[in-house]
Structure 1
Amino acid sequence: MPDHTTAPLRYTAFSADPAGGNPAGVVLDATRLTDSDMLALAKDLGHSETAFLTAPPEGLGEAGRAYTVRYFSPRAEVPFCGHATIATAVALADRVGPGDLVFATRAGTVPVTVARTPDGTLRATLTSVEPYVTDVADADVTEALAALDWPAADLDPALPPRIAFAGARHLVLAAATRARLANLAYDFDRLEAFMRRLDLTTVQLVWRESADVFHVRDPFPVGGVVEDPATGAAAAAFGAYARELGLVPDAATLTLHQGADMGRPGVLTVELRAGDARVRVGGTGARIPDETGADDGNGGGGGDAR
């Protein structure tokens, strides 16, 4: 099992406040850890994901700024995790300075840039793998709504259900009102079974406040977590969804608010560039001081980890 050289750091992503955003574990040297070790450590931390770094594939990038990264939830390995990527990038920038990084993930190669803002806060921006958006069967939407206990009439017809991918698959469902989004009490086991059948990482629940401002929530039962406080992979997928459906121009910057309903507010910036299918997701990050303890009041920061 891990010793002091592989002990995880804890960083939050998409907030400069350690009490906001989405906490992640970060193990900067996982060379000696087995898969079982990584899963056990992620389960012990209880965050929605923990990132584990090892040496990069040959030729990926310069030493100290390129890594292989694997992500584990408390229940299983996941192909990509946006918030743990942001947290990892900020953790590395604390040690080697801001600049460009590159991560080899199971989903593909993910470049990340870290910059220091005028107030001294570190801000990281990841570039997703190539995204896609697909239709979802009416029967599957019906089952998802039944698991969520959401009437179909509570959906926003201007934002139709789709499955979106930018490193992991997410079902996008849009609420017609902020009140509908705020009221989330779902059947954990039923939604988990549904998501496993469709190979979904989260369900991206969305309410549109304005042309470029959205509020989102992400149930994550397949990771053993009721809700993810800030979800970078889903934000990237949603950017692809918004562009695919013509909700925003080809070049646009979207602001996603997440975590307020859990008491961990965070802000995710989604950037779309004309002529580039990839999606950029950025946000601030911060070290979580050790004295806060392992429990952040939400099952380790992931919303009732099971």
Structure 2
Amino acid sequence: MTSERSPRTPEILRYAAFTTDPAGGNPAGVVLDATTLSAGRMLEIAAELGYSETAFLTAAAAPGSYTARYFSPLLEVPFCGHATVAAAVAVAARDGVGRYTFHTGAGEVPVEVDTDPAGLLRATLTSVEPHTEPAGAADVEQALALLGWAAEDLDPALPPRFAHAGARHLVLVVATRARLADLDYDFDGLAAYMTARDLTTLQLVWREDAGTYHVRDPFPVGGVVEDPATGAAAAALGAYLRELGAVTAPAELTLHQGDDLGRPGILRVSLHEGDTRVRVTGTAVPIPA
């Protein structure tokens, strides 16, 4: 794996999450010991790396427990799914598979790390308690205008909603794969829109079938045009689909993301009976030097 350190910086690891190929999925920086780093220095490191997020861990008192902070190149976010998967896999590569607990800005996030059938490390995070709320007509109209989309592009069976499972997202489901593939939005305008509504990404979705979804996530508030694989938004989508009655627990969903960026990734979302939290699973692999 690629790592670097300087007198001011602990070792920085690089992982690709939600993929078995270092050239796929979503790259994340991981710092396993951020004890000496200020928030300002964490932001500098995230900006220098240029990934959508970098995770900074500090060991807590309980074994296997960490405080986790997440920084994009422009700001700190309360929770990041792909960086959680990457960080948990990095911890397990050092300390072994098992259960870890990340204390995030959104709340406590348990993460279970095991090995997949191919022998790769794989992490399953359990979201904080999710919730959704309707998106008003004016909010939807403005978002569509900034995306260059029309109301007729949306799937009428799956209406727009705000969804939160660690971070807040606007979920917009389109009727065709072609509409999802054609994404060219107003970067500054969408960033301002999202900032005003405390949104981390827009979760743009096309439903292939009841268990298969294709997603894209603009992330201008973090200084990134598009996030290649978004675990927090995947959890939010699971909560959204369950609340609308589009899926019924227990359910296993497959999300394809990054294909339109040339960085394909796969996110597995699971909904359990008797537990409203959402689980998101993916592998992560080191990015070589």
Is the Cα–Cα contact under 8 Å of residues 5 and 29 in structure 1 kept in the other structure? no
1:148 shift after superposition: 0.3
1:55 shift after superposition: 2.5
User: What amino acid is the match of 1:284?
Assistant: T
1:89 shift after superposition: 0.7
1:116 shift after superposition: 1.0
CA RMSD of aligned residues (A): 1.1
Q: Equivalent residue for 1:117?
A: 116
Residue-pair matches, total: 285
Is the Cα–Cα contact under 8 Å of residues 169 and 200 in structure 1 kept in the other structure? yes
- Aligned to 1:186, the other structure's residue is in SS state coil
Within-5 A mapping of 1:257-268 = 257-268=256-267
1:136 shift after superposition: 1.1
Larger strand fraction of residues = 2
- Please tell me whether residue 281 in structure 1 is matched to residue 285 in structure 2: no
Q: Equivalent residue for 1:150?
A: 149
User: What amino acid is the match of 1:36?
Assistant: G
Is the Cα–Cα contact under 8 Å of residues 19 and 266 in structure 2 kept in the other structure? yes
Q: Equivalent residue for 1:215?
A: 214
Matches of 1:270 and 1:69, distance apart in 2: 22
1:7 shift after superposition: 2.7
Deviations 1:152-192 (A, max 9, x none): 11111011000000000000001110000000000001100
User: What amino acid is the match of 2:246?
Assistant: L
1:201 shift after superposition: 0.2
- Aligned to 2:79, the other structure's residue is in SS state coil
Deviations 1:211-250 (A, max 9, x none): 1100000000000000000000000000000000000012
Within-5 A mapping of 1:1-306 = 3=7, 6-56=10-60, 58=61, 61-62=62-63, 65-290=64-289
Matches of 1:23 and 1:150, distance apart in 2: 29
Matches of 1:284 and 1:260, distance apart in 2: 17
1:48 shift after superposition: 0.2
Deviations 1:79-125 (A, max 9, x none): 00000000001111111111111100010000000111232111100
Structure 1 stretches of 4+ moved >4 Å: none
User: What amino acid is the match of 1:245?
Assistant: L
Q: Equivalent residue for 1:302?
A: none
Matches of 1:283 and 1:55, distance apart in 2: 23
Is the Cα–Cα contact under 8 Å of residues 2 and 37 in structure 1 kept in the other structure? no
User: What amino acid is the match of 1:37?
Assistant: R
- Aligned to 2:191, the other structure's residue is in SS state helix
Is the Cα–Cα contact under 8 Å of residues 9 and 37 in structure 2 kept in the other structure? no
User: Percent identity, aligned pairs only?
Assistant: 66
- Aligned to 1:42, the other structure's residue is in SS state helix
Gaps of 5+ in 1: 291-306
